[in-house]
Chain A
Amino acid sequence: MNNRAHDFAGLGTAFGFLLRRNWLRMLVWVLILAGLIAIVVVSQRQAFPTQADRTAYAAIANTPAVAALTGLPYAAGSLGGILVIKIWMTDAVALAFAVIFLVTRNGRAEEESGRTELLRAGSLGRHAYTLANWLMVAGFCLITGLACAGAAIAENLPSYGALVMGASFTGVGLLFLGIAALAGQLAQSSRGANGLAATVLGIAYLLRAGGDLAAKHDVAGGLSWASPLGWGQAMRSFGSNNWWPFLLLAGGALVFCVLALRLEASRDLGAGLLPDRAGARTATAFTQTPVGLTLRLQRWSILGWALGIVIGGLFFGTVSTAMANLLGGNGAPAKLFLGGIGGNVLSGLLDYFTMAEALLIGAFVVQSIATLRVEEADGSVELQWTGAISRVRWAVSRVIVPAVVSLVVLAISGWAEGASCGAAIDDPAQAGRFTAIALAYWPTMLLLIAITVFLTGWLPRASLTIAWVVYGVFVLVSMFGPLLKLPTSITRNTPFTAIEQATLKASFDPLPLIVLAVLAVILTALGLVRLRGRDFVSG
């Protein structure tokens, strides 16, 4: 018993230390997640001002695409129900990601860097830091839930429904806290832990998509019960307001955390349960080239992204036909969903999905080019830059990989989307058409690379933070710009929506592509020049 108490010695100190390191990060997440709720309530109240509008929307809200992407609508005749359709899934998935990143950042990543060793060698108990981390993240989930509920109540939505919605966020957050905690024990690297937990999140999303597509009336199919996101949806906030699925989420979180603690008690510091296999004793000739090395270092990441994006393309292509049939014509809801874009509904939908795919590929591109700065910050460039390779050649090898891979993945994703849609409407020409449309986003990918290269050259220490913020703003404005009531002069001119606009026109307008490509070349060149001329800057 005494030993048990020892294991948790220093819990309070660890908690305070963790809070100091993470409070700002958590505050930003809470503000974004709760802010989205407030903004979407306001915009939907404007879009559906009368009960008649909402009732009309309810009649057509339940389409396969909405069910698959954002969850089965169940109370679309009320403002609260519409809020859930529009933003619940986004907020829940974003919170799950935030939780996964936080748990890993203060868990496996600390252990990997050796800081945990230093802390445990002090008077800190074996589990104190881990438990303090989980408690802090659990508090973060609770506050996020309360803030989201508060935002909805402040906008005059029913309090009880708002509280259930907040609790559903908290519950989903807690469950992914448990999953991330377990992943942090199983994997040996922080990347592995993040990857493992994010994979579980992805599977949870697909499972409930299957469940929601197989719904009878407004009751989701059995697959949803295999998914924690499905449990959160089953709370049906602003509908029947069920509390009991929260017990599943909180109970699941507890089980996973206890399991993770037991694993931590039985393993060595720094070790994972999934062991490292011995590797090759020599490098292949390909790995010895700069481009080959880049590909070798990123191969699993590239494969994972490519696979996910192809599955996404097939999925979008399949559901879009069903959705277009149900929307039938150019009704107001269709326009709202598409951000007011006119024209053929099916083709508009597919263009929109193509942009969504391009946004995903953009995340891969930023992650891949980020190694440019990551390797400098962690010091591994020291041995490379002192070899007989110029910094520019070295950097170009890191640029070529995301540039070429994004070109290939864009083509495949467009082809997958067009082919699966073409199969549904007996039009094989769609495959080629959407391959071409997807490829139009290549200059956008080059621009994302260029921005990161430029920042790495000129603002090395802040570069990656700024690069991800810029990408995040592109995503937010491109996907949710109309929902957030931003002026069209902005929403139609992001590097993503500008391409979407260009591909929608009857005669293809290459101007945005040229502008983006020229910008990309200029920024890359400026970044490389500075990288060659500046000092080495460690992390």
Chain B
Amino acid sequence: MPDTLAIDIKGLTKSFGSAHALNGLDLAVTTGTVAGFLGPNGAGKSTTIRILLGLLRADGGTARLLGGDPWRDGVELHKRLAYVPGDVTLWPNLTGGQAIDILCTLHGPVERARIDEYLQRFELDPGTKARSYSKGNRQKVALVAALASRAELLVFDEPTSGLDPLMEGVFTQCVLEAKADGQSVLLSSHIFAEVEKLCDTVTIIRQGRTVEQGVLSELRHLQRATITVTLGGSPSALEQVEGVHDLAVDGSRVTFSVDDSAMPAVLSALALQSPSALVSEPPSLEQLFLRHYGTVDASAR
């Protein structure tokens, strides 16, 4: 029976000296899907990925990768995955093209046509020495090597942090194609729009622990929608309605957030105040994310 989870992490812990990087982290990626992996700087995203790649050894918990143990079966598993780190270091006196060939060889046979296709799409000159590349171009080298490899699992750690918006678009397209080809993808990212566009599931971590995990559409359901509306009647009437939060009044213009369950009651109350120009926004991933960190009042936006 084939493993339906490309990545299956339960209760993962890892300490560096007295610093606890991971405190019981859970993460699952279903085969053939794209999973988003979110968290602020220092939350443990890169540590988790390095454990998955067999670069670090977990202290506790279980981590399964493509049905194997990432530490013990590393070499075999690495044939079936490709990785793009957030900060790509290459050999300064080799060209990008040479680096791509060497990286591809580490995963399987070099498919020249496929490499050339991705070189063209990412507009990368393979004849330049790596030391002359910008951060974005070094990232493109790793991206071309990973995408050209036909690996079962692609692991990306903030892969677009050095790319311009145009190239981000190319990356998005490439990931969607990879998914269509049946590849599984783990995408650690800070760019909400990218995750919303690409990911089937999302895992949000904080201080080495999973705080939110699930299918993106279901997670949205748990959250409040934001409603902006112009009222003919009195805005203050809304204050009394159950389920209305964060009410902000600007003349006749009113903004507030609503629990999904309270929506019918709120809409009937609104109807009595001659509403016009009503806009309802579903909760964004950004709000979902910020709710767990509390740095900004998400519903006020």
Is B89's CB under 8 angstroms from A188's CB? no
**Which residues of A approach B to under 8 Å, CB–CB?**
112, 188-189, 276, 278-283, 287-288, 293, 296-297, 378-380, 382-390, 533-536
Q: Is B132 at the interface (CB under 8 A from chain A)?
A: yes
**CA–CA, A384 to B74, complex, Å?**
12
Residues of B within 8 A of A390 (CB): 74-75
Given contact pairs A281-B97, A388-B79, enumerate 18 new A-B contacts (beta carbons under 8 Å).
A279-B95, A279-B97, A280-B127, A281-B126, A282-B97, A282-B112, A283-B97, A287-B101, A287-B102, A297-B91, A382-B55, A385-B55, A386-B53, A389-B78, A389-B106, A390-B74, A533-B57, A536-B56
Question: Cβ of B100: which chain A residues have Cβ within 8 Å of it?
Answer: 283
Report yes or no: B98 in contact with A280, Cβ–Cβ below 8 A: yes
Please pick, from B91, B105, B106, B129, the residue contacting A380 in the complex, using a CB distance under 8 A.
Answer: B91
CB atoms of A383 and B127 under 8 A apart? no
Find out whether the CB atom of A383 lies under 8 angstroms from the CB atom of B78. Answer: no
Question: Are the CB atoms of B85 and A383 closer together than 8 Å?
Answer: yes
**B 4-20 binary contact with A (CB < 8 Å = 1; else 0):** 00000000000000000
User: For residue A276, which residue of chain B has the nearest CB?
Assistant: B129
Which A residue sits closest to B14, measured CB to CB? A535
With both beta carbons as reference points, the residue of chain B lying nearest to A387 in the complex is identified as B106
Alpha-carbon gap, A389 to B79, bound state (A):
9
**Nearest-neighbor residue (CB-CB) of A377 within chain B:** B89
Q: Smallest distance from the beta carbon of B110 to chain A beta carbons, Å?
A: 8
Q: Is A536 in contact with B74, judged by CB distance below 8 angstroms?
A: no
Find out whether the CB atom of B98 lies under 8 angstroms from the CB atom of A283: yes
Whole-angstrom distance between the Cβ of B150 and the nearest chain A Cβ: 13
Q: Which residues of B contact A536 (CB under 8 A)?
A: 50, 55-56
- 9 tightest CB-CB pairs across the interface, nearest first? A387-B106, A283-B101, A279-B95, A536-B55, A281-B97, A283-B98, A379-B89, A388-B79, A288-B105
A378 near B106: Cβ-Cβ < 8 Å: no
* Prevailing SS type, chain A contact patch: loop
| Given A379-B85, A386-B78, A535 and B56 contact (CB-CB distance below 8 Å) | yes
Nearest CB of A to B13, in Å: 14
Within the complex, what minimum Cβ distance (angstroms) separates A290 from chain B? Answer: 9
Q: Are A378 and B50 in contact (CB under 8 A)?
A: no
Q: Roughly how many angstroms separate A282 CA and B102 CA in the complex, as a whole number? A: 9
Please tell me if B291 contacts chain A, counting CB pairs below 8 Å. no
How many B residues touch A, CB cutoff 8 Å?
Answer: 44
A112→B129 CA distance, assembly (Å): 14
Please name the residue on chain B nearest to A532 by beta carbon.
Answer: B74
> Which single residue of chain A is at the shortest CB-CB distance from B77?
A388
**Cβ A387 vs Cβ B103 within 8 A:** yes
B95-A379 in contact (CB<8A): no
Complex Cα gap A491–B86 (Å): 51
Query: Does B102 contact A293, Cβ atoms closer than 8 Å?
Result: yes
Q: How far is the CA of A6 from the CA of B78 in the complex (A)?
A: 53
**A386:B75 contact, CB within 8 angstroms:** no
State whether the Cβ of B142 lies closer than 8 Å to any Cβ in chain A.
yes
A119 and B239 CA atoms in complex are apart in Å by 54
Per a CB cutoff under 8 Å, which of B57, B103, B105 touches A535?
B57
Say yes or no for B131: interface residue by CB 8 A criterion.
yes
**Which single member of B74, B90, B92, B94 contacts A296 (CB below 8 Å)?**
B94
Of the candidates B74, B92, B98, which one forms a contact with A287 in the assembled complex, judged by CB atoms under 8 Å apart?
A: B98
Q: Is B54 an interface residue (CB 8 A)?
A: yes
Q: Is the CB of B106 within 8 A of A279?
A: no
CB contact under 8 A between A279 and B127, given known A288-B101, A296-B94, A388-B78: yes
A-B contact pairs, 7 of them (CB 8 A): A279-B95, A282-B112, A293-B102, A380-B90, A380-B91, A385-B54, A390-B74
Q: Indicate the member of B76, B88, B102, B142 with the most A CB atoms within 10 Å.
A: B102
Inter-chain contact B85/A189, CB cutoff 8 Å = no
Q: Within 8 Å of chain A (Cβ to Cβ): is B280?
A: no
Q: With A279-B95, A288-B105 in contact, do A379 and B87 touch (Cβ < 8 Å)? A: yes
CB neighbours (8 Å) of A280 from chain B are 95, 97-98, 127
Distance, CA A39 to CA B88, complexed state (A): 49
Chain A residues contacting B88 (CB-CB under 8 Å) are 383
Q: How far is the CA of A385 from the CA of B112 in the complex (A)?
A: 23
Nearest CB of chain B from residue A277's CB, rounded to whole Å: 8
Contact B107 A387 (CB under 8 A): yes
Q: How far is the CA of A287 from the CA of B104 in the complex (A)?
A: 12
Chain A residues positioned under 8 Å from B98 (CB to CB): 279-283, 287
CA distance A384 to B85 in the complex (A): 12
Considering the chains assembled together, what is the distance between the CA atoms of A390 and B106 in angstroms? 10
- A276–B129 Cα gap in the complex (Å)? 7
Q: Which residues of B contact A287 (CB under 8 A)?
A: 94, 98, 101-102
| Across-interface contacts of A382 in B (CB, < 8 A) | 55, 83, 85, 89
CA distance A508 to B60 in the complex (A): 56
A283-B97, A288-B101, A379-B87 as given contacts; A276 in contact with B131, CB under 8 Å? yes
Task: Give bound CA distance, A383 to B127, whole Å.
Answer: 20
How distant is B28 from chain A, measured CB to nearest CB, in Å?
A: 21
The residue in chain B whose Cβ has the minimal distance to the Cβ of A380 is: B89
Q: Distance in Å from the Cβ of A189 to the closest Cβ of chain B?
A: 6
Residues of A within 8 A of B106 (CB): 383-384, 387-389
Instruction: Output the least CB separation between A72 and chain B (Å).
Output: 41
Q: Which residues of B contact A388 (CB under 8 A)?
A: 75-76, 78-79, 106-108
CB distance from A302 to the nearest CB of B (A): 14
Query: Is B93 an interface residue, CB under 8 A from the partner?
Result: yes
CB contacts (< 8 Å) of B142 on chain A: these are 383
- Contact assessment for B127 and A278 in the assembled complex, using a CB-CB cutoff below 8 Å: yes
Asked if A386 and B81 make an inter-chain contact with CB atoms under 8 angstroms apart, the answer reads yes
Asked whether any CB of chain A lies closer than 8 Å to the CB of B276, the reply is no
